[in-house]
Amino acid sequence: STGYTAHFRVWRGDTDGGGLEDFRVEVHEGEVVLDIIHRLQATQAPDLAVRWNCKAGKCGSCSAEVNGRPRLMCMTRMSVFEQGETITVTPMRAFPVVRDLVTDVSFNYTKAREVPAFVPPPGVAPGEYRMQQEDVERSQEFRKCIECFLCQDVCHVVRDHEENKPAFAGPRFLMRIAELDMHPLDAAQQAGLDRKKTAQDEHGLGYCNITKCCTEVCPEQIKITDNALIPLKERVADRKYDPLVWLGNKIRRR
């Protein structure tokens, strides 16, 4: 098969700063961006830091930005670029750099911990849960998430607004709240946890103005906005305008 030489521009640096470095590098048919990064490590930049694991789009480790677009490097075919095109690879912009293409994604673990877990209904053993097929299918889509955090990286609410991070969980975790809120067997709600209220008041659902950038970059093609965030917003609105809730609030205020 025929190869060619590509022009790569890769961000190198650490917590003290850095910049773009230029490379000429060989490309063979069928390769992906991660192959080229590995070739750079093998031939020209042995200390280039990159995180990866499966090379199959399943571990969510190799997230970076290619020509400014958040992508999995192992799933980005070189054939999507023109041969003469300069290909710029930078670390995810919304998270602090550790070194080169490796970022510190602990923001996401913090947000994950802030969402209370599913509580099984009392007296029902695992394996004995009974649900409607449509409820099963709905949550199955959300459970395809590989935690690549590309959606978290692209969302404009935090991408250039570090100050919004404490108040905004990001699409991946608002989706998790939506999944649990729509789960017919989640007993946390009966025990007094109002997931809709926490989404709105603690996790910043109101910051999301449904730009759908998260959905566009999701490598698992999860319809984050249409199937999780918009329905969650509608459920929050229903709760707010539910006449009984409204009357209750009115009486309590007197």
Q: Kindly list the residues in this chain that would bind ligand F3S in the complex (CB under 6 A).
A: 155, 157, 171, 208-214, 225, 229
- Minimum Å gap between C-beta 43 and ligand SF4 is 31
Asked if 59 is part of the footprint of ligand FES (rule: CB under 6 A), the reply reads yes
> Tokens 């906005």 identify what position?
225
167 DSSP 8-state letter = G
Would you say how long the chain is, in residues? 254
Quickly list DSSP for 76-126.
-BGGGS-TT-EEEEE--TTS-EEETTEE--HHHHHHHHTSPPP-PPTT--T
Which range in 49-57, 106-114, 194-202, 238-246 contacts ligand FES by CB under 6 A?
49-57
- Minimum Å gap between C-beta 157 and ligand F3S is 5
**Chosen from ligand FES, ligand F3S, ligand SF4, none, partner binding at 145 (C-beta under 5 to 8 Å by type):** ligand SF4
Q: Is the dihedral of CA 220, 224, 226, 232 positive or negative?
A: positive
Other beta carbons within 10 Å of 239: 14
With vertex at residue 219, the alpha carbon angle to CA 214 and CA 225, rounded to the nearest 5 degrees, is: 30
Q: Which is nearer to ligand SF4, 78 or 155 (CB)?
A: 155
User: What's the token pair of residue 25?
Assistant: 């590098």
Asked if 53 is part of the footprint of ligand FES (rule: CB under 6 A), the reply reads yes
- Minimum Å gap between C-beta 34 and ligand FES is 6
| Cα separations in angstroms, 5 against 24, 67, 243 | 6, 18, 66
- Minimum Å gap between C-beta 95 and ligand SF4 is 13
**Chosen from ligand F3S, ligand FES, ligand SF4, none, partner binding at 155 (C-beta under 5 to 8 Å by type):** ligand F3S
User: What's the token pair of residue 87?
Assistant: 């290909």
**Chosen from ligand FES, ligand SF4, ligand F3S, none, partner binding at 91 (C-beta under 5 to 8 Å by type):** none
**Chosen from ligand FES, ligand F3S, ligand SF4, none, partner binding at 150 (C-beta under 5 to 8 Å by type):** ligand SF4
Other beta carbons within 10 Å of 23: 20
Please give the Cα distance from 205 to 247 (Å, whole number): 24
- Minimum Å gap between C-beta 156 and ligand F3S is 6
Total residues contacting ligand FES (rule CB under 6 A)?
12
Contact residues for ligand SF4, defined by CB under 6 A = 145-151, 172, 217-220, 222, 224
Asked if 245 is part of the footprint of ligand FES (rule: CB under 6 A), the reply reads no
Asked if 103 is part of the footprint of ligand FES (rule: CB under 6 A), the reply reads no
Q: Which of 52, 95, 168, 173 binds ligand FES (CB under 6 A)?
A: 52
Other beta carbons within 10 Å of 115: 19
Enclosing H/E stretch for 23: strand 17-27
Residues near ligand FES (CB under 6 A): 52-55, 57-62, 72, 74
